[in-house]
Amino acid sequence: MLEKCRNAKDRWGGVSTIIDHWLEERQQLIAVFVSIPGQAAGTPLNRAVGDFCDLLMDYLSSGHFEVYEQLLREGDEFDDGSLEQAQSLLPYIQPSTDAALDFNDAYGTLDTPTLQQLCQLSRDLSNLGETLEERFSLEDQLIEILHNAHKDQVSAT
């Protein structure tokens, strides 16, 4: 997952400062995500899960309220059909937003986890990881549709 994130940043880095920052947030989110299973039970785990949830909420917010809006605005300005193609991806991204919000609600303020909570956390992290990987792929498609559709036109100006 981390390698895919680096590849996305290499491909689309520089498209805009907002997208660059967002891809950096994604990379940081993944790094914290993969570090959670190695945490010992107790305070470090609580902190790692809390940090992950904070980053996750920031990432989701940036995507929905900055990046997607910027990309869709760009697609609208060029009026070349890329907007409709990109908008068709958004409904597929929403379930991952819901799953991430549910995870945050369940674990964002994890105090002293019970053994049952730790077992459930492990399963929920695994499920969320799969969901996020699918989300990242869809977001990469969104960037690619709008960036590739317009890069020749932008460089011609």
Given a contact cutoff of 8 angstroms between Cβ atoms, the answer to whether 132 and 100 are in contact is yes
Q: Measured on CA atoms in the order 85, 90, 53, 100, is the torsion positive or negative?
A: negative
Q: What's the pLDDT tens digit per position in 38-82?
A: 775 555 788 889 999 999 999 999 999 988 888 888 788 777 888
3-state helix, strand and coil shares in percent for the chain, rounded to the nearest 5: 85, 0, 15
Tell me how many degrees the CA angle 123-128-130 measures, rounded to the nearest 5. Answer: 100
pTM metric for this prediction: 0.83
Please report the domains of the chain, with CATH numbers, ordered by start residue.
2-156 (1.20.120.1370)
